[in-house]
Amino acid sequence: MNIGITGTGSYIPTIITANTDFSEHEFLNSDGTPFPHTNATIIEKFQSITGIGERRYAKPDYQTSQLGFFAAEQAIADAGIDKETLDYIIFAHNFGDIAHGRSQSDTIPSLATRVKHYLGIKNPKCVAYDLLFGCPGWIEGVIQAQAFLKAGMAKKCLVIGAETLSRVIDNNDRDSMIYSDGAGACILEAGTGGGNILAHASETHASEEAYYLFSGAPYDKASHDKRHYLKMYGRKIYEFAVTQVPSAMKACLDNSGVPVGDLKKIFLHQANEKMDEAIVKRFYKLYDREVPHGIMPMNIHTMGNSSVATVPTLYDMVRKGSLENHHVSKGDVVIFASVGAGMNINALVYSV
C-alpha cells in the first residue's frame, strides 16, 4: 500500500530581519564578558559560515499554533480533502505558544488541538497531539503518521512543523542570529496512487550529546532577567552532525533499495550552510561519489533556521516551483533528513 504526501503548505512570516539589524547588538561571551570583535566582523563571519543573510520573524500577534494553522489550511486545500476526514493532526514544535514579550510557554491545550479548533473540525475521532523531537520533529511526525496509515488506523493525517524561535533567543548571544520563525505542513494519505514512503530511520544520542542544545540563562549577568533562552554548543553540534547524519542517511537509503545515483534531491534541515554541505559531501563519500550538482536545495539564506519548519517549508517551495532552479516530478526519489536537540537524527526516503 502506497503512503504518500498529497498536499503541502507553508507559512513564511512577513517580518524580514537582515543581518545589518544586529549591528547595534551587544554580543557577549557566555560568562558575560564583552566579545572581542566588532559587530561588523561577527556578522561577516556569521554569514560566511551559516549562509544566512536574513531571516523571518512572526508578527507580534501571531503565535506558533497560528502559524501552523496557516500552513495546515494550505496543505488541506492543496490535497483537496474534506478536513472532517482527517484522522490525526500531529504538531511538531519545541517551545509551544509564547506570546510576544512574554517568557512562559503555553501548551495547554496542545498546539495540535488549537489547530483543530482553528480549522473548525467537529469530528471527535480526529485525534490531535503534539510531538517534541527537536528540529527533526516534522520528519518524525511523518514517520509516525506513516505508521498509523500502514497499520490501518488512519486514512488521512495532517503533520505540521512550526516554531517561533524569535521568542526564545538571547539578544546578547551571537547564536540568536541563526534562528527564525515559520511553519510547514503536509497531508499524508494511504492508497491514493500518489507518492510512497520507501524507508525511514530515527536515532536518539543521549549520552554526552543530550545537552548540546539546552535552555540556559542570559549572557548579560548584570541584568535582572530570570528567563532562560535557547542555547547551544555550536562546534559540538557541527562535529556530531557531520559525523552521524551521513551514516544515518546511508543506512536509510540502503534499506530503501534505491541506488544513490537515482536520488534527485536531498531535503536537509536548514541549520547551517557549511554544515549541510559537509553532511552531503560525507554522505556521497560513503559511496565513493562526488556530490551531484543541484542535489541540495536551500532556503536558509533568506529564511534562517526555523527548526521543525525548515524541511516542510523547503519541500513545499520546491514542490510548488517557488525555489529557483529546483523542482521535483512524479516518480523522483528524494531523501529528507534532520538533526537537532536530543540529540535526534532521522531520515526518510520518499518517491514523489
Residues 61-84 pLDDT 10s:
999 999 999 999 999 999 999 999
Is pLDDT of 179 > 80?
yes
Indicate if the pLDDT at residue 192 is higher than 80. Answer: no
Cell of 95: 517551545
Whether 298 has a pLDDT exceeding 80, the answer reads: yes
Residue 103 has pLDDT above 80, yes or no: no
- Whole-angstrom distance, CA of residue 230 vs CA of residue 56: 17
Over residues 125-145, mean pLDDT = 98
**Does the fold of domain 198-351 match that of domain 3-194?**
yes
* Residue ranges of domains in the chain: 3-194, 198-351
pLDDT value of residue 207: 96
| Long-range pairs for 171-175: beta carbons < 8 A, 24 or more residues apart | 171/25, 172/25, 172/26, 172/27, 172/28, 172/218, 172/219, 172/220, 173/27, 173/28, 173/218, 173/219, 173/229, 173/231, 174/27, 174/35, 174/42, 174/46, 175/230, 175/231, 175/232, 175/234
Task: Using pLDDT thresholds of 50, 70 and 90, give the confidence band for residue 194.
Answer: confident
**How high is the pLDDT of residue 22?**
94
Domain 3-194 has CATH 3.40.47.10: yes
Return mean pLDDT, the chain: 95
Rounded to an integer, what distance in angstroms lies between the CA atom of residue 263 and that of residue 266?
A: 8
Concatenating the DSSP letter of every residue in 283-347 gives HHHTTT-PPPTT-S---HHHH-B-GGGHHHHHHHHHHTT-STT----TT-EEEEEEEETTTEEEE
* Mean pLDDT on 301-306: 97
In this predicted structure, the answer to whether residue 129 has a pLDDT above a threshold of 80 is: yes
Q: Which of 214-218, 260-264, 332-336 has the lowest mean pLDDT?
A: 214-218
In this predicted structure, the answer to whether residue 254 has a pLDDT above a threshold of 90 is yes
pLDDT at 82: 98
In this prediction, residue 227 has a pLDDT band, given cuts at 50, 70 and 90, of confident
pLDDT at 102: 77
* 52 has pLDDT over 90: yes
Rounded to an integer, the average pLDDT of 281-286 is: 98
Region 198-351: CATH code: 3.40.47.10
- What percentage of the chain carries pLDDT values higher than 70? 100
Helix (H), strand (E), coil (C) string for 261-285: HHEEEEEECCCCHHHHHHHHHHHHH
pLDDT class of 279 with cuts at 50, 70, 90:
very high
- pLDDT at position 343 over 90: yes
